Amino acid sequence: MTALNFKIERTNIDTEPKDILWNGNKIPIKGTMISSGMSYRFMVYFVDRQYCNIPSTYMEHQRLVVKFVPVDEIFNYYTVAECRNKAVYGYFNVECPELNCISVNQPVRELCY
């Protein structure tokens, strides 16, 4: 699979600060958002800017994308995830992980890498 988009059916939001272990490093997170649908999950960790350069990762065996996002973008992500009058989509791209996102716009398949 190079790219996949799916309709998000459920979103869980946790705003409690905690630490996670990522590639052997302890990362303090300010909140977490997990969106899921079609047996896929998209996990967003909200972090201080010094940690947002961690590349987005797709873990195929877990059907999971993990993305680290600056904490000051938390409201934007929550607003999209909780959109009531539009479908929300998750987008995974293995070859170009910086494109991994959630959106109210379904990505155009012809433009996928």
Distance of CA 77 to the CA centre of its chain: 9
Domain boundaries, the chain: 3-111
Is 26 within 8 Å of 18 (Cβ atoms)? no
User: In the structure, what pLDDT confidence band is assigned to residue 110 with cuts at 50, 70 and 90?
Assistant: very low
Q: Residue 8 class from Cβ within 10 Å (0-12 exposed, 13-18 middle, 19+ buried)?
A: buried
Summarised one tens digit per residue, pLDDT across range 17-48 is: 999 999 999 999 999 999 999 999 999 999 99
Summarised one tens digit per residue, pLDDT across range 52-108 is: 999 999 888 899 999 999 999 999 988 888 787 788 999 988 888 888 999 888 665
Query: How much is the pTM?
Result: 0.86
